[in-house]
């Protein structure tokens, strides 16, 4: 996502967008898998293309106050990763390195984990 060449893949009508639409069932497609919806579609795409597609689930929606149906999240995150000469991307890469995990784990997965951890802490009651 940090590379502008990914825009064609994640843009409306692009391959990732089209695949998400088919899995999520927001359009009528013959042969659509039963039980798949927006979250399942997003998680399958994120698993298949971990360096291109972020997870988009209820935790992410709540943390970033995104709408229920959000067709702009990929583009917004891509823009954030590229802003200020890639400062956000570089910060996520530094977190990945500090955690001691390899570069085979993309910065989008680092973003996902940090967001989930932050969201999980917001609902916790202090114990001390």
pLDDT-derived band at 52 (thresholds 50, 70, 90) equals confident
The percent of residues above 70 in pLDDT, for the chain, comes to: 84
**Interval 4-18: pLDDT, tens:** 888 888 888 888 888
Q: Is 109 within the bounds of a domain?
A: yes
Residue 11 lies in a domain: yes
pLDDT in tens, 20-31: 888 776 566 556
Q: Over the stretch 69-120, which tens digit does the pLDDT of each residue have?
A: 777 888 899 999 999 999 999 999 999 999 999 888 889 999 988 988 887 7
Which residues, 6 or more positions from 107, have their beta carbon under 8 angstroms from its beta carbon? 2, 81, 89, 92, 93, 96
Q: Say what the pLDDT of residue 26 is.
A: 59
> What is the C-alpha to C-alpha distance for residues 42 and 44, in angstroms, rounded to an integer?
5
Residue pair 92/110 in contact (Cβ under 8 Å)? The answer is yes
- Contact in structure between 89 and 81 (CB atoms under 8 Å): yes
Q: What is the pLDDT of residue 99?
A: 92
- Domain holding 81, by residue range, is 4-122
Does residue 128 lie in a domain region?
no
Total count of domains within the chain: 1
Task: Give domain status of residue 127, yes or no.
Answer: no
């Amino acid at each position: 996502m940090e590379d502008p060449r990914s825009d064609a893949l994640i843009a409306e009508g692009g391959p990732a967008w089209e695949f998400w639409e088919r899995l999520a069932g927001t359009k009528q497609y013959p042969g659509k898998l039963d039980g798949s919806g927006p979250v399942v579609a997003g998680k399958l795409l994120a698993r298949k293309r971990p360096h291109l597609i972020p997870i988009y689930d209820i935790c992410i929606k709540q943390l970033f106050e995104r709408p229920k149906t959000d067709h702009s999240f990929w583009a917004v995150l891509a823009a954030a990763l590229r802003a200020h000469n890639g400062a956000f991307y570089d910060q996520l890469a530094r977190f990945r390195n500090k955690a001691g995990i390899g570069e085979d784990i993309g910065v989008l997965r680092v973003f996902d984990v940090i967001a989930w951890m932050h969201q999980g802490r917001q609902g916790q009651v202090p114990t001390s």
